């Protein structure tokens, strides 16, 4: 990713974050509204809740996997040499997390379409909340990378990053 200052970096990271949040949200809202007005019937609806619980479990597994992989990649990003290298590695870790979390939200949306079970509405809310609290911020970047005072000052002053 190309960026000169922190503001450029955060703007690009936030754009990807919002795009990855938007797609599953559109899918879920579309199916939810179609069920709500009665114009859609679940193709795999059954009184059995097992398949819906499996779908919810898969979505939550993707959520947790995204967070675990992210933490491992961030730990290795701390070892990078320059501030730019650390930020690039952090960006890649964050994108991995966002993709997996977004995929979890998408799985719930498709699962809701297939089964129509309300447990998936609750699961979607949990996955969406977990996703949104992980938005890219300067504070998360500084805290997760454990940046030194000089590096923090460069970021806070929005100076060009070498």
| Cα 25 to Cα 120: distance, rounded to the nearest angstrom | 13
- The alpha carbon dihedral of 33, 38, 39, 43 has a sign of positive
Mean pLDDT of the chain: 93
Q: For residue 116, what is the enclosing H or E element?
A: none
The 3-state DSSP class for residue 75 equals: helix
Please tell me whether the overall predicted TM-score, pTM, comes out greater than 0.75 for this model: yes
| Cα 82 to Cα 87: distance, rounded to the nearest angstrom | 9
- The domain spans of the chain are 6-36+49-156
- Tens digit of pLDDT for each residue in 85-120? 999 999 999 999 999 999 999 999 999 999 999 999
Decide if 94 contacts 70 (C-beta within 8 A): yes
Q: By C-alpha distance, which of 128, 110, 14 is closest to 60?
A: 128
The 3-state DSSP class for residue 78 equals: coil
User: pLDDT-derived band of residue 143, with 50, 70 and 90 as boundaries?
Assistant: very high
- Tens digit of pLDDT for each residue in 10-42? 999 999 999 999 999 999 999 999 988 989 888
The 3-state DSSP class for residue 28 equals: helix
- The alpha carbon dihedral of 91, 93, 94, 99 has a sign of positive
Structure confidence at residue 17 (pLDDT): 95
Residues constituting the chain: 162
Burial of 33 per CB tally in 10 Å (0-12, 13-18, 19+):
exposed
């Amino acid at each position: 990713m190309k960026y000169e200052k922190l503001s450029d970096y955060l703007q690009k990271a936030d754009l990807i974050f919002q795009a990855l949040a938007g797609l599953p949200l559109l899918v879920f809202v579309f199916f939810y509204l179609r069920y709500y007005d009665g114009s859609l019937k679940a193709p795999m609806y059954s009184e059995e809740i097992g398949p819906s619980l499996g779908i919810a479990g898969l979505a939550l597994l993707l959520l947790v996997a995204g967070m675990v992989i992210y933490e491992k990649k961030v730990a290795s990003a701390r070892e990078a040499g320059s501030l730019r290298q650390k930020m690039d590695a952090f960006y890649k870790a964050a994108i991995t997390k966002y993709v997996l979390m977004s995929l979890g939200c998408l799985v719930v949306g498709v699962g809701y379409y297939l089964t129509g079970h309300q447990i998936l509405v609750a699961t979607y809310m949990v996955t969406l909340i977990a996703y949104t609290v992980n938005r890219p911020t300067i504070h998360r970047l500084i805290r997760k990378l454990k940046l030194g005072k000089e590096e923090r000052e460069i970021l806070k002053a929005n100076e060009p990053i070498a």
